[in-house]
Amino acid sequence: MGLRDIFKNLRGEPWPASQAAVTALPLAGLGTEDIEVAGESYHPESFARIFATAGRPLGGVLMRTAVLVADPKNPYDRFAVAVYVDGAHVGFVPAYLAPSVQPVVLANTRASRQTTVLARVWACCDAGDWSARVTLSFSGQSEQEWSYVDFGPWPGNRSPDGSERLTQTGRINRLRHAEAVGRVRGRDFDSLRPQVAQAKAAGDTDTALRLVMDCVEAAERRANVEGCRPATWPTEQAAILLRKQKDYIGEIVLLERFFAADPSHQGTKGLRERLAKARTLAGQPGHVPAPPSRAEQCGFSAPARLDLAPTSPTVVVSLPAAAEVSYEKEHRDAIAAAFAEARIPLGNALETTAVLREIPRPGAQFTPVAVYVGGRLIGLVGALYADAVRALLREPHFAGMAVAVRCRIYARETPSWTARATLGPYEAVVASLDDTQSAAEGRANQMIMAELREERIAAGGAEARAQTERLVHGRDFVEWVERIRQLRRDRNDDEALVLLMECIEAAERDAKANGWQPPSWYTEQAAIILRKQGNLAGEVALLERFLAACPADRPQVDISERLIKARAKLSRAKG
């Protein structure tokens, strides 16, 4: 933002009869950058007064007209410009702007005029301590006002109409309440999964069903407090038991109950498929909720088409680093059309240009960046890369222009549809034709861990000795994750299992030395391979080994549940 934009928004208004008579005025210069006030932390009493007067004693967001007052006698900065809101001093114009702003303010003062600008005032009083931030809205953008509260009669952390939000204290209270209502027989319902598995393994279906239905109710109570979808596993397990009993009507009622408790009423793909099957078995075909896209589940959506006028200015820019696209699988038709138009068969890579468009979401903290190829939406810029891309799109000299970047798309139909789109200098992250995004990110993480390993070894002493205990063939055991995944993708389970067992040993050494539990991923992957190979005894021994390595006060629900099932399978196999 240039100083000219700032000066356009510094309004000189006649001095009112009283400070309270100041009102917010429309501002020019839309699209310019807002400015954060400095020094709010030194004025907690001002924010307490402002928000108490507004009937919001714990803070929130207020839209006010800020008055700028020159302070040339300030002992720390002779160019200082103080910021007042509702007659209370809340901070100063940042020092780097003050020398240019102060002359404008002084000129208005000599003309008996106030210098005003729209301001967003955020503050929160949590456990008696005030935090605050004042933003001078040179863009002219306003926001709905809302309040912080310690308690709310609504689920989640904010009221349905957005007028109230919980403080951190309120969130902690809600979390404690959610934990309390999610207990079954004195325990958290999620910790009862091994007991359900044990009852099923013992053939005690009635006990398992009673226990899992108690967990269904607890999951619903907790979800109602948190304002989210209930945990799915109790419903899934209960549905399995009901189908085993051929109680298809009961299964339908159970599944419909889950969809009713889900705020989106969409459920999961597995539960939607199960509901359709249960209705077929019961001879009651009916409506099954349509599946939402993953982007819609995250609250992101964008127009499917971007039709630019022939005269629309377009600029091709270079991204500083490669950026991955998300949700490509949900835009299969658009990607296939791009390949068809380029006359490139699927199974190859298409090098093209993509147009980026930031999608407004009023009141939202984040805005998605849509990616269009040939005018068709092929996905959204991944969350890890979106900040840098948004910053580029918001540069003033790109205003009113379509911004395009290099784009590489790999897509194939067999053995299953898959696609990966990468923006910018993709050569740095694409290792082969069918290289996946997860593989690229795995390599990046591996490089970071390798640097950390070298730093710890170079440090010497206890840090180097601790790192040495984590080594497998000269690398930290976490550096082998992507290699293990690749071996499994290549169906080389034997080599993957050997490497997994070596990583498990290193992880156990590290956990024992530090008094924490070893990571479960390596054990889970090894257990999957052992079961696939039919080595149930080996799987049981491996799972028991993991639990023995974990502190007794840290229950391992997933591993315990798998162990019970593995023991049951082994028992049946022995006859």
Residues 264 and 337 in one domain: no
Q: Do the domain assignments include residue 278?
A: yes
Angle between helix 193-201 and 205-226 (nearest 10): 160
Contact 13, 114 (CB under 8 A): yes
pLDDT confidence of residue 292: 61
Q: What does the pLDDT look like over 396-420, one tens digit per residue?
A: 888 888 999 999 999 998 888 899 9
Q: How confident is the model over 317-342, as a mean pLDDT? A: 93
Q: What does the pLDDT look like over 493-502, one tens digit per residue?
A: 999 999 999 9
Residues 100 and 8 in one domain: yes
Q: What does the pLDDT look like over 532-565, one tens digit per residue?
A: 999 999 999 999 999 999 988 888 899 999 999 9
How sure is the predictor about 290, in pLDDT bands with cuts at 50, 70 and 90?
low
CATH number for the domain that contains residue 205: 1.25.40
Whether omega before 263 lies within 30 degrees of 0, making that bond cis, reads no
| Domain-terminating residue out of 267, 282, 297 | 282
Residues 492 and 537 in one domain: yes
**Residues 400-412, buried b or exposed e (16+ Cβ, 10 A)?**
eebbbbbbbbbbb
Residues 364 and 468 in one domain: no
Residue 480: domain span: 461-574
- Residue in 107, 89, 97, 106 with CA at minimum distance from that of residue 138: 97
Residue 172 tokens, joined: 């902690």
* CA 462/CA 452 separation, integer angstroms: 15
Q: Do the domain assignments include residue 218?
A: yes
E-only strand ranges, 190-282 = none
pLDDT confidence of residue 31: 37
Q: Do the domain assignments include residue 547?
A: yes
Tell me, yes or no, if the pTM score tops 0.75.
no
Range with lowest mean pLDDT among 138-147, 331-340, 420-429, 539-548: 138-147
Residues 14 and 145 in one domain: yes
Q: How confident is the model over 199-225, as a mean pLDDT? A: 95
Q: Do the domain assignments include residue 456?
A: no
- Residue in 114, 123, 104, 164 with CA at minimum distance from that of residue 37: 123
Residues 10 and 143 in one domain: yes
* CA 249/CA 367 separation, integer angstroms: 43
Residues 199 and 261 in one domain: yes
Residues 32 and 130 in one domain: yes
Residue 132 reports pLDDT greater than 60: yes
Q: Which positions ≥6 away from 300 have C-beta within 8 Å?
A: 359, 368, 380
pLDDT confidence of residue 125: 95
Q: Do the domain assignments include residue 298?
A: no
Residue 152's CB: how many other CB atoms inside 10 A?
16
- Residue in 253, 238, 187 with CA at minimum distance from that of residue 208: 238
Residue 509 reports pLDDT greater than 50: yes
How sure is the predictor about 26, in pLDDT bands with cuts at 50, 70 and 90?
very low
pLDDT confidence of residue 23: 31
Residues 145 and 67 in one domain: yes
Q: Which is higher by pLDDT, 393 or 141?
A: 393
Q: Do the domain assignments include residue 446?
A: no
SS3 338: helix
Task: Return the residue matching tokens 């038991």.
Answer: 241
Residues 222 and 345 in one domain: no
pLDDT confidence of residue 435: 80
- Residue in 193, 240, 198, 429 with CA at minimum distance from that of residue 324: 429
Residues 132 and 15 in one domain: yes
Residue 18 reports pLDDT greater than 50: no
SS3 186: coil
Number of domains in the chain: 4
Q: What does the pLDDT look like over 442-483, one tens digit per residue?
A: 788 888 889 999 999 999 999 999 999 999 999 999 999 989
- Residue in 495, 494, 574 with CA at minimum distance from that of residue 540: 574
Residues 113 and 65 in one domain: yes
Q: Do the domain assignments include residue 234?
A: yes
Q: What does the pLDDT look like over 357-372, one tens digit per residue?
A: 998 876 556 789 999 9
Q: What does the pLDDT look like over 147-160, one tens digit per residue?
A: 999 998 888 888 88
Residue 512 reports pLDDT greater than 70: yes
Range with lowest mean pLDDT among 64-68, 304-308, 370-374: 304-308
Residue 294 tokens, joined: 């993953």
CA dihedral 432, 435, 439, 440 (to 10 degrees): 70
pLDDT confidence of residue 19: 36
Q: Do the domain assignments include residue 445?
A: no
